[in-house]
Structure 1
């Protein structure tokens, strides 16, 4: 009898822990690994692609795998970037276009498990610079990219309006009180992204959503399973 009680208590703890991740949204709206694999088998475009392996010369600066981010915590276990197949293909084309000018892409963040979106919201309590967990993020769908442009020869980032994850008015995609150089560099990034099917997020010059993101499900798959 005592053993049965212990087993029941452990089961209840597991259920509670699982529910904690989805407390802002119906758990049926979040896709885990098994369901994701079935979706990919039915539609290969839904596959999450390892961007570093897929795009020649791509540079990663995954801040959430370090403490150098707005949380001050390491929230990713590994510095990796994934995106759905059409997103990855578009980024590959952008990288090739920029390379002709001696430039390239640096990725700050890409696919983000839903559990991380919940954590960000609970730290920031803000839905301008972090996603509302009741809706989920386009990062959770593998269809949003945080990035900038670098000089391939020096490896240095082009001079942009702010640093990454700057929760300030200057981070807005349309902020005007900037130097001519910052405006030119921001417009260069925006133009090349828009030509390849992305739309900038108005509050963050570095954040771009892939047009057509609606057909991709919200995911909560750790990098280790990918």
Structure 2
């Protein structure tokens, strides 16, 4: 009788252990299933909406008189700028503009836009050192350096004062400098167009600048590789308006 009771108790204990083991496995399986589920609130990548980037709106030159002075940046963001006379990094060693802006007459802008599109085909674009220059600034420059070899006599005026001249170089589309014969406003033989005692890369860059600008109606100055005048601009009157500085 006792043996039978002991046997039954042993069987019961074994049975309870088996049930306990099965329960643990089931619980573990549930936990693993829960862990494998995606976190609540996870956003599908495809459902993320990228913010819209507004493209700048530029003015049109349609209907604008050729002789009207306009701000180049209002018509394109495809140029680069290093307007030296708004700093003291120039041959005068003095700032003569209150702030840097590139204004020219509308006909000059039209030609510059066309030339810049051509340059882009070669992986470069125009960078400006100087554009329109008020005649009052010409007087200021003449007072600092009264030498017609370097500064146009303000009485006669410069084509810069007429909105038909630009001082430029080339940079890559990413804005990196392209090698040229000299720095801007370097007055010496190295800056002359007829100086060929230069590395071939520099000669090629200068040639690209000159030939492209001439193709779109500009002519160069023999002693300054950076200076270009629009054809016919010398007949325009001298101007003295000043742009606003924000």
Structure 2 length-normalised TM: 0.71
What residue is the counterpart of 1:200 in the other structure? 220
Deviations 1:4-61 (A, max 9, x none): xxxxxxxxxxxxxxxxxxxxxxxxxxxxxxxxxxxxxxx8111111112212321111
Question: Residue 132 of structure 1: CA displacement?
Answer: 1.7
Pick from 171, 176, 192 the counterpart of residue 172 of structure 1. Answer: 192
What residue is the counterpart of 1:219 in the other structure? 239
Does 2:180 align with 1:156? no
Question: Residue 83 of structure 1: CA displacement?
Answer: 0.7
Asked whether the 8 Å contact 2:96–2:141 carries over to 1, the reply is no
Pick from 129, 151, 156 the counterpart of residue 108 of structure 1. Answer: 129
Could you tell me how far apart the structure 1 residues matched to 2:210 and 2:81 are? 19
What residue is the counterpart of 1:187 in the other structure? 207
Asked whether the 8 Å contact 1:128–1:203 carries over to 2, the reply is no
Q: Superposed, which structure 2 residues align to 1:22-171 within 5 Å?
A: 44-153=65-174, 155-171=175-191
Could you tell me how far apart the structure 2 residues matched to 1:221 and 1:84 are? 12
Bigger relative CO (Cα 8 Å, ≥ 6 apart): 1
State the secondary structure of the residue aligned to 1:156.
coil
Query: Structure 1 residues 59-68 or 116-125, which shifts more?
Result: 116-125
Asked whether the 8 Å contact 2:164–2:234 carries over to 1, the reply is no
Could you tell me how far apart the structure 1 residues matched to 2:195 and 2:141 are? 25
Question: Residue 69 of structure 1: CA displacement?
Answer: 0.9
* Structure 2 stretches lacking a partner, 5+ long: 1-63
Could you tell me how far apart the structure 2 residues matched to 1:135 and 1:163 are? 27
Question: Residue 96 of structure 1: CA displacement?
Answer: 1.1
Could you tell me how far apart the structure 1 residues matched to 2:157 and 2:126 are? 26
State the secondary structure of the residue aligned to 2:181.
coil
After TM superposition, the runs of 4+ consecutive aligned structure 1 residues lying more than 6 A away are: none
Structure 1 length-normalised TM: 0.77
Deviations 1:82-120 (A, max 9, x none): 111111000001111111222111011000000111121
Larger Rg: 2
* Structure 1 stretches lacking a partner, 5+ long: 1-42
Question: Residue 208 of structure 1: CA displacement?
Answer: 0.3
Residues paired across the two proteins, number: 182
After superposition, the CA RMSD in angstroms is 1.4
